[in-house]
Amino acid sequence: MSGSHRFELPIQVDPRDIDRMGHVNNVVYLRYAQDAAVAHWSAVATPEYAESLLWVVRRHEIDYLRPALPGDQLLALTWVGAADGATFERFVEITRPADDLVLARVRTVWVALDPQRLRPRRVPEALRRLFDSD
């Protein structure tokens, strides 16, 4: 984890993200994490990898630590962890820079698929290296 390239995605809380309790709905944090993962993939993956792999989620784990509020400016920091076979582990930390608080931590296990066969495909080591340190 410590050597992985870290990617930041700024997020503006939208009024539609707010639930009846007056804060960002829990499922929206999942969308933020997915948005960060997709943006990171788009920024780092070569066109060849982007065309030769599809990604699906096997597992999400989310720790909700503090609420995000209407009008908050957030930051999603993401990096990759272990790659094993067809799986790729990804971490996302959602923070509120205004007070330096961590609002949520997300761990997702993604599975690489061959886009034609829709079957799992081993993550190439060369792809893993693209996401290593800056």
* Domain boundaries defined on the chain: 7-130
pLDDT in tens, 62-84: 999 999 999 999 999 999 999 89
Q: What is the CATH number of domain 7-130?
A: 3.10.129.10
Q: How confident is the model at residue 133 (pLDDT cuts 50, 70, 90)?
A: low
Rounded to whole angstroms, what are the CA distances from 6 to 26, 80, 111, 134?
24, 8, 20, 8
What is the value of pTM for the model shown?
Answer: 0.91
Tell me what percent of the residues of the chain surpass a pLDDT of 70: 96
- Asked if 22 and 78 touch (Cβ cutoff 8 Å), the reply is no
Compute the average pLDDT of residues 4-27: 95
Residue 1: what pLDDT?
A: 37
